[in-house]
Structure 1
C-alpha cells in the first residue's frame, strides 16, 4: 500500500478460490499443474456513497474549479488546445503501458501512411480516447457500446489482438506474475462470467449525479481496472473513462486536460493507488487524480497562451496573409493538426491537391513546416513549433507533479 489513510473509506475487495487450469498446457511443469486461482472480487458500487474529509473536499473542489475555469475561458476560443491535449493525453497514457514512439512516427501513424507498431498503438489510443469522450458528450451516458468501439479502435490495427478487439473477455486473466498461470500475480480480476454484472453495476454508478465528478471519475476508473474486462488494453480504456465521466458530468465541455502526463511521472505510485482502492482506501487515488487535474490544468493555461503566440509569429513570418486564403487556412489548421500530408491539407482547407502542395511549400520556405525523414514516397510535414509545445506540455506537467510530490 502507499501512504493510505489509517481508516478505510471504501468497501474493500474480497477474495475467493476458484477452480482453474490452463486451456493449453504451457510453461514450467509446476505451472501446468496449477488447479486453483484466488480471484479478487470488487464490491458492487451502484449505491455506495463516498464521504470525504474536509481537506480532501477542498482539494477536489479546487481542482474542479480550476478545470472549469480553463474550459470556460479557452474551450470555445481555442479549439486547437483540445486537439493538442488529446494527443498529449494519449501519448502519455500509452507510456504508462511502456508504449512509446517518436512524434514523427506517431504522426505517420495518425495519417495512416506507415509507422512502427508502437506509433500505431499510440495513434489508436488517440482514436479510442476521442471516441469515448465524444460519445459521453453527445449521449450524456457512459455506454458499453462506446467502450467496445473504443477498444476496437485501440486494437483493430494490431495483428496479435485484432481478433479480440472490441470484445469483453471470456476467460480468466491476471495482472503481473507469470505468463502461464496466475502464480505470483499482482491482481487476479473476477471470473469472466461475473464481468457483465460488474459492468452493469459500474455503469449505474457512472450515471449518478450526486457524486462529485472527480470522485466519480476516480472510482469508475479504479473499479474498471479492478474488473479488467478486456484481455488487454484495460489501462488505456480505463484512463479514457476518466475523461468520459468528466465530460458526461460537464466538468469539462470542450477540453481534455492531459491527466496521464501527471500519472506517468509517478507510475508505481499510480499502480499502488489502485491497489489501495482494492484494499478499501479510495482516498489515495481520489487525491492523486485531483492533484493531476490541477497540475494539468495549470500547465494547459501556459500552452494555450503559447499556441496563440506561435500562431501570431507564423502570421507575421508570412507577411500577414489575408483571412480565407489557403495560407491563412493552413496556419489555422496547423494549430490543431501539426502533422500533415497533402490529402489532409486538401480536405481540410477545401482546396485541390495542387494548391495544397503549393501552400505547404510556402510554409516550408517560411520555416513553419519541416518534412520528416523517410517520407519520400508518402511525404509528411511537421509544424515543429506546435509539436515542441505538445512535448513541453507533457514535460512541464511531469516536472510539476514530481516537485509537488517532493515538497
Structure 2
C-alpha cells in the first residue's frame, strides 16, 4: 500500500480530499520509452516465434472454425476463474443445452456472458476499431442478468472503487485507481494509443494496453475480464493469429499472484519492463501449450475418423457428419443426430450406441430420458487446470 504521494513514469499517486491516495496513470506510450534491453528483446522474440508457429499449426487444421468455439469457451472459463468463479468447461457445455446440475449455476452464467461478449467483440473488430464504444458494449453483455448487473453495465463508473482484501476500506486498499471524474479522459487517451500506429512492437503495445486498462479500472465491476478480453481482440484484429485461439487467462490463472504483483509493480514503481517480460512469457508459454493441444486434436480426429471408417459401414457418412458436429459442440442427443442426418430416431439411437460402445462418446447427464452424450476425450484436452 502506497502511503505518500509520488510520481514516476507510469503515473503519480495523488492525495484525494478524503485523505486516501489514488493512482493517476500517465499516457501511453511511456515516457521515457520502454527500454528494449536484451532480456525484453529475447522475451519478445521468443513470444513472436511461438505465436508464428501457432498460427502455422492452426493453418493446417482441416476446418479451423470447427475448433475455435472451444478455445473461446476455455478462455471464458479461465478468465472468469481468476475472478473467483468455480465453474468448469463441462459445466458451461451443460448450461448451453440447459443442463444446470452444478452448484455453481451463477458462475456458469458469468462464463456464458463472457463467451457472448467475446463473440460480440470478435465480430465487431473485423471491420471496426477497439474503442470506448466497443468496450462499453462488451461490458454491458458481460454483466447482463448476473451478480454485478446492478453495477452500471456498459457505463463507466461514477463512484470511486478500490482493490484490496475482501471487506477492506479504501484506506486499507492495495490500489486505488483514478477518481471517477477522470475515467473518461484516461480511457479516451488509451483509445487513441490503441488506434494510433507507432514504432512499438505489437505484442509490447498489447501488454502496455492491458496494464493501463487495469490501472484505470473504468468500471465498477468486471475490469479484469474486460481487460483480458481486449488482449484477445487486439491480437485477432491485427491478424497476429488467423483465429482467436490464444487463451492467456490459462497462464494468468496459474500465476495469479505474480500476475497481480507485476501489474501493481507497474503502478507503484513505474517498471513497465518487468511486466512486459512477464506478459511476453505468458504469450510464449500459452502459444506452445496451444500448439500441443492442436496437435492432439489433429491426432484424435484422425483416430476417430479411421475408427468410423472401419466400423460404420453404410452409416459411415452420417457418422462423420456427427463427428464434425461434435468438434464444434461436443455434446449431442439422439434427437439432434436425427435432425442432423435425417435418419430415423431408431437409426440415430443405434449410431450413438455404437459410438458409446467404441469409447467415442460418454453419456453425461445420468438421466434415464433426454440423455446427452459427450465427446469426452476432446473436452478433456481443454478442461485441465
Specify if TM > 0.5. Answer: yes
Which of 69, 74, 83 is 1:97 aligned to? 83
The corresponding residue for 2:241 is 252
The corresponding residue for 1:307 is 297
Distance 1:382 1:57, change over 3 A: same
Is 1:281 the counterpart of 2:271? The answer is yes
Is 1:391 the counterpart of 2:383? The answer is yes
The corresponding residue for 1:4 is none
The structural deviation recorded for 1:162 is 5.1
With the length of structure 2 as denominator, give the TM-score of the two structures. Answer: 0.85
With the length of structure 1 as denominator, give the TM-score of the two structures. Answer: 0.80
CA distance in 2, matches of 1:148, 1:374: 41
> 1:265-294 CA distances to partner (integer Å, 9 max, x unpaired)?
211111010011112101122111111111
Question: Contact 2:9/2:30 (CA < 8 Å) preserved in 1?
Answer: no
Is 1:220 the counterpart of 2:209? The answer is yes
Distance 1:189 1:260, change over 3 A: same
Is 1:60 the counterpart of 2:49? The answer is no
Which of 103, 106, 110 is 2:92 aligned to? 106
Aligned-partner SS, 2:16: strand
Distance 1:297 1:350, change over 3 A: same
The corresponding residue for 2:4 is none
CA distance in 2, matches of 1:197, 1:343: 54
> 1:2-47 CA distances to partner (integer Å, 9 max, x unpaired)?
xxxxxxxx8232122223xxxxxxxxxxxxxxx4432111112268
Question: Contact 1:342/1:353 (CA < 8 Å) preserved in 2?
Answer: no
The corresponding residue for 2:5 is none
Distance 1:246 1:104, change over 3 A: closer
> 1:67-96 CA distances to partner (integer Å, 9 max, x unpaired)?
023213323633344333323222222221
CA distance in 2, matches of 1:57, 1:309: 35
Distance 1:270 1:106, change over 3 A: same
The corresponding residue for 1:40 is 23
> 1:212-261 CA distances to partner (integer Å, 9 max, x unpaired)?
11111111100110111111111111111111111222221224222111
Distance 1:376 1:293, change over 3 A: farther
Question: Contact 1:217/1:242 (CA < 8 Å) preserved in 2?
Answer: yes
CA RMSD of aligned residues (A): 3.0
The corresponding residue for 2:194 is 206
Deviates more, 1:35-44 or 1:124-133: 124-133
Which of 253, 271, 293 is 2:283 aligned to? 293
Question: Contact 2:194/2:209 (CA < 8 Å) preserved in 1?
Answer: yes
The corresponding residue for 2:358 is 366
Aligned-partner SS, 1:41: strand
Aligned residue pairs, count: 368
Output aligned runs, 1:119-198, within 5 Å. 119-136=108-125, 138-139=126-127, 141-161=129-149, 164-177=152-165, 179=167, 181-198=169-186
Aligned-partner SS, 1:183: helix
CA distance in 1, matches of 2:280, 2:22: 30
Question: Contact 2:73/2:89 (CA < 8 Å) preserved in 1?
Answer: no
In structure 2, stretches of 5+ residues that fail to align are 2-7
The corresponding residue for 2:251 is 262
Aligned-partner SS, 2:227: helix
> 1:140-197 CA distances to partner (integer Å, 9 max, x unpaired)?
5212232222222222131552562222212111111464741211111111121111
